[in-house]
Structure 1
């Protein structure tokens, strides 16, 4: 009993502590690997979201050029000035354009813009109509908001 209290008890406690530390060390190695993987994923996403820092005015001109090159019968009613929002990580540029046309032409334009326009992303679209009381006709409009991002410096 005396030898157990003097030697074996401490040896077993040290062995238990050693196993516990080894387990924590293995978890730490796994955490470093996970952290490295997450950092690489964040870098890839940053490049995708904010990698291309085009001048916002050029993006707006490219939007107009893209829309005008379609063979659809539509009218551009208005285009707002570029709206800039900044946070700690990104600068967000928003472009808003309002277009008039038939439902088929507007929906095709929206589809083509989402699918093929790579310099900015469609984040919102809204169809609405207005009635002209003089001619007693309904006119259909499409408002599209496009955004592109730039990594803050």
Structure 2
């Protein structure tokens, strides 16, 4: 049956058949294999990225836990912190007078109880700044949250007086169930 065709025509037919078989084999086997290899490398890259993100998240959680423990130091009595502030002022507050003390204000969020103490001081600017600096540097029981300066005129003496209003905050970490 194939004797009537020349070798050239047989060669072309065989080449066309080889191309068709190659295309079919590519579609059936090789394309799926190449797609699977590409998917494998892409998944491996995503896994490495997820591992890096998971490690970074773990480090952030540890850092947050350390900060929460530092901020949320246990205070036995919020009024005791106010007494500590007054003791500190008594020792380091040279030239500064306590003008007013507000009651302790308590608020809370999901993780902390927040105790705020507001104290108004009166004195010269340099003395007030030294007291503020001393509190920032070496007072471990509360942190300064706000500072405000006011100048008021005394109606009896017509003398200007400088007031400093300081809000201290200390945090107590809530016990999580």
Normalising by structure 2, what TM-score? 0.80
1:73 paired residue number = 95
Contact conserved, 2:97 with 2:121, CA < 8 A, in 1? yes
Q: Distance in 2 between matches of 1:17 and 1:105?
A: 69
State the 1:21 CA deviation.
1.7
Change (3 A) 1:26 1:104: closer
Question: Where does residue 122 of structure 2 map in the other structure?
Answer: 100
Question: 1:70, 1:20 → 2: CA distance?
Answer: 64
Counterpart Cα distance in 1 of 2:132 and 2:24: 86
Number of residue pairs aligned between Structure 1 and Structure 2: 153
2:163 match: 141
1:100-130 Cα shifts (integer Å, max 9, x gaps)? 1222222221221121111111111112121
Give the TM-score, by structure 1 length.
0.91
> In structure 2, how many angstroms separate the alpha carbons of the residues matched to 1:30 and 1:75?
55
Rounded to whole Å, the distance in 1 between the matches of 2:92 and 2:53 is 51
In structure 2, list runs of 5 or more residues that go unmatched.
1-22
Find the aligned partners of 1:10 and 1:109 in 2 and give their Cα distance: 75
Whether the 8 Å CA contact 2:92–2:134 is kept in 1: the answer is: no
Deviation at 1:71, TM superposition (A): 5.7
Aligned ranges for residues 1-150 of structure 1 at < 5 Å? 1-70=23-92, 72-150=94-172
Distance 1:149 1:71 in 2: 24
Q: Which moved more, 1:21-30 or 1:81-90?
A: 21-30
Q: Which runs of 5+ in 1 are unaligned?
A: none
Higher strand share: 1
C-alpha separation in 2, matches of 1:116 and 1:12? 66
Q: What CA distance in whole angstroms lies between the structure 2 residues aligned with 1:104 and 1:4? A: 85
Distance 1:104 1:30 in 2: 50
1 or 2 for the larger relative contact order (CA 8 Å, sep ≥6)? 1
SS of corresponding position for 1:119? coil
CA distance in 1, matches of 2:112, 2:61: 17
